Amino acid sequence: MNIYVYIAAMALTTYLIRMLPLTVFRKPIKSRFFRSFLHYVPYACLTAMTFPAILGDTASLLSGAAALAVAVVLAYLNQSLIVVAVASSAAVFLVERLMGLPL
């Protein structure tokens, strides 16, 4: 199949995803349930994409779990994103060094 057909299909898909909500929902959404549901969708999507990567992209499950624990504690203590990211990375580094795993 031609590469231009693939590009056109993806452009149409991307356009429809962005255009349909603007045309379907012209009035403000008044349902409290639906509004609260939509409020949490970005967080749920981010979690679904991030959580497997945290545990699966390190050399061992233990270092990923340590990074997750550090991130949860620091986020609970209202630390900034950069502090959480650096501390979680440091946790992975330290746990993998203590386990003798190669970088």
pLDDT tens, position by position, 11-53: 999 998 888 888 887 888 888 998 888 888 888 888 888 888 8
CB atoms within 10 A of CB 78: 7
Q: How do the domains of the chain map onto residue ranges?
A: 3-99
pTM (two decimals): 0.60
Residues of the chain with pLDDT > 90, as a percent, come to: 49
Provide DSSP, 29-60. P--HHHHHHHHHHHHHHHHHHHHHHHHHSSSS
